Structure 1
Amino acid sequence: MYAHHQRLDSEAVLELRREGGRYLKELREARGLSQRQLAQMVGAEYYTFISQLETGRGRIPPDRYRAWADALGVAPRDLVRNVMRFYDPITHEILFGEEPQPGR
Structure 2
Amino acid sequence: MYTNPQKRSASDTYELRREAGRWLKERREACGLSQRQLAEMVGTEYYTFISQLETGRGRIPPDKYRIWAEALQMTARDFVLTLLPFYDPVTYEIVFAEGSDQERAAR
Give TM-score scaled by structure 2 length: 0.88
**Which residue of structure 1 aligns with residue 61 of structure 2?**
61
Equivalent pairs counted in the alignment come to 102
**Which residue of structure 2 aligns with residue 48 of structure 1?**
48
Deviations, residues 67-97 of structure 1 (Å, cap 9, x unaligned): 0000000110011111111110000111112
RMSD between superposed Cα atoms in Å: 1.8
* Superposed displacement of residue 6, structure 1: 1.1
* Superposed displacement of residue 21, structure 1: 0.3
Cα distance in 1 for residues equivalent to 2:54 and 2:28:
10
Deviations, residues 2-59 of structure 1 (Å, cap 9, x unaligned): 6652111111111000000001111100000000000000000100000000000001
Gaps of 5+ in 1: none
Cα distance in 2 for residues equivalent to 1:2 and 1:22:
25
Gaps of 5+ in 2: none
Query: CA 1:37/1:2 → structure 2, altered by over 3 Å: closer, same or farther?
Result: closer
Query: CA 1:3/1:30 → structure 2, altered by over 3 Å: closer, same or farther?
Result: closer
Query: CA 1:3/1:38 → structure 2, altered by over 3 Å: closer, same or farther?
Result: closer
**Which residue of structure 2 aligns with residue 74 of structure 1?**
74
Q: Percent identity?
A: 63
SS in 2 for 1:59: coil
For residue 55 of structure 1, what is the amino acid of its counterpart?
T
Give TM-score scaled by structure 1 length: 0.90
The question of 1:90 aligning with 2:78 is answered no
For residue 80 of structure 1, what is the amino acid of its counterpart?
V
